């Protein structure tokens, strides 16, 4: 059985290294892009609110057959 995990966030590798060179573990929010997330905010120190893209679908093969991604919270 295989599983694929899509990240909500990813490094923005299009930045000029003179701006931010990604040589540290910490990533400032300004230098991170969303993959599944359109935007996010830290409303309290323990609450991260993430808005997910609405146009995400599974691949068009069985058993998912291109269905829209359904998020259950």
Question: How many Å apart are CA 48 and CA 38, to the nearest integer?
Answer: 13
Q: Is the pLDDT confidence value at 1 over 60?
A: no
For residue 52, give the 3-state DSSP assignment.
Answer: strand
Question: Is the pTM of the predicted complex or chain greater than 0.75?
Answer: no
Identify each DSSP E strand in 1-73 by its residue range.
Answer: 9-11, 32-34, 37-44, 47-52
26 token code pair:
């910490």
pLDDT per position as a tens digit, 20-59? 777 777 777 777 777 787 888 889 989 988 888 888 888 8
Q: What angle do CA 55, 8, 10 make, to 5 degrees?
A: 115
């Amino acid at each position: 059985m295989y599983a694929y995990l899509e990240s909500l966030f990813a490094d923005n590798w299009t930045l000029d290294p003179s701006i931010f060179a990604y040589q540290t573990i910490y990533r400032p929010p300004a230098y991170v892009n969303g993959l599944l997330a359109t935007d996010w905010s830290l409303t309290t120190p323990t609450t991260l609110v993430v808005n997910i893209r609405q146009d995400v679908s599974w691949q068009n093969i069985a058993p998912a057959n291109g269905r829209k991604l359904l998020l259950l919270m």
